[in-house]
Each structure stands twice: as C-alpha cells, then as structure tokens.
Amino acid sequence: MEVPILKQGLYLIASIQSALTDADLSQLREALIQRVGKFRARGVIVDVTALDVMDSFAVRTLRDIAHMARLRGAETVIVGIQPEVAFAMVQLGLTLKGVSTALDLEEGLAFLDRQAQDRVERTRGRIIRG
C-alpha cells in the first residue's frame, strides 16, 4: 500500500494508515526524499499513529529518512508513536537516536515552526554580525 504524502506549506506530511511491508517502507523513503527537493520542503512529518507494531526495519527506515532529509535541507519529526510501541522499541534497543519525535501531528507542526524560527534568528544574527 502506498503512503500518501501531503504538502502543507513548507512541510511534507506522510501519514501511515496501515501496517507496511518492507518494500512499502523503502518506497516511502524514496518518495519522501525525492519530494523534499521537488517542493523545497523545510520539514517532514511522518505520522505513525496507526501502527501498533514497529520492527527493526521500520525503525531503521524512519531513521534513514530523517538523516537523508536533513542532508537535503529538511528537518524530520516522527509523530504519534503509541505508548506500547515506544515501550517495546526501547526494550528491543530501537531508540531512534538523533531523530526528533513529537506526540502528534499538531505537536510535530509546532516543533517544525519553532525550528524554522530558530533558523531564521540564527541566520539574521549571522548577517548582522557579518
């Protein structure tokens, strides 16, 4: 099943609706990374609220998406991890190190807005200083 990717302002939102096969996950990764460039997106949100299991491949793919998107200039947030899934993940040692997470879509958007603002302020500072 293909995951729909929505464009919302400067952000891309991928909302996973059902359990995905490894091939679906790889396809999602490729589509997202490609579209980050196409839409000049500054942020990516992957919503996993609907997932009640997360295996090591899924976690690795999410981490890869975050790292690849960062190289293409977009910050990634994973939102909606269920409490049970979170608990299972840490017990398996799958902790998504270096990847931002947020409670739900709303929080994710707020997080990206804050990040964008920080970036603007940093840039402004640099310009003034220069």
Q: Which residues contact 128 (CB under 8 A, 6 or more apart)?
A: none
- Tell me if residue 14 falls in helix, strand or coil: strand
CA distance 100 to 25: 19
Nearer to other proteins, 30 or 104 (CB): 104
Q: Residues 10, 107, 113, 116: which binds other proteins (CB under 8 A)? A: 107
Least distance in Å: CB of 23 to other proteins? 25
**Could you say whether residue 101 binds other proteins (CB under 8 A)?**
yes
Structure tokens at 11: 């952000």
**Could you say whether residue 98 binds other proteins (CB under 8 A)?**
no
Nearer to other proteins, 68 or 88 (CB): 88
**Could you say whether residue 103 binds other proteins (CB under 8 A)?**
yes
Q: Which residues contact 122 (CB under 8 A, 6 or more apart)?
A: none
Phi and psi angles of residue 101, each rounded to the nearest 5 degrees, phi first? -135, 155
8-16, 24-32, 83-91, 117-125 -> range binding other proteins (CB under 8 A): 83-91
CA distance 81 to 101: 8
Q: Interface residues with other proteins (CB under 8 A)?
A: 78-79, 81-87, 89-91, 95-96, 101-104, 107, 111
